[in-house]
């Protein structure tokens, strides 16, 4: 996987995590719970994108 793809995966997963955090920040829950959920969302989206890019590379 090239450096550009790794950089894009990191950026996209950070954007997804920030978006989820913004949604949960407005809810009446503890901020640390919202941050944890945002971090988990970033990790899951990064894992899924990495799997997708590696799978498409194997099929070529």
pLDDT at residue 3 in the model: 86
pLDDT at residue 50 in the model: 92
CA 21-40-49 angle, 5° bins: 105
Instruction: Give the integer Cα–Cα distance in Å for 21 and 5.
Output: 24
Residue 5: band (very low, low, confident or very high) from pLDDT cuts 50, 70, 90: confident
pLDDT per position as a tens digit, 8-58: 999 999 999 999 999 999 989 899 999 999 999 999 999 999 998 887 666
Q: What is the pTM of this model?
A: 0.80
């Amino acid at each position: 996987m090239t450096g550009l793809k790794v950089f894009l995966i990191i950026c996209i997963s950070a954007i997804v995590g920030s978006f989820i955090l913004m949604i949960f920040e407005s809810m009446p829950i503890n901020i640390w719970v919202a941050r944890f959920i945002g971090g988990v969302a970033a990790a899951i989206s990064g894992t899924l994108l990495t799997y997708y890019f590696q799978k498409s590379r194997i099929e070529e």
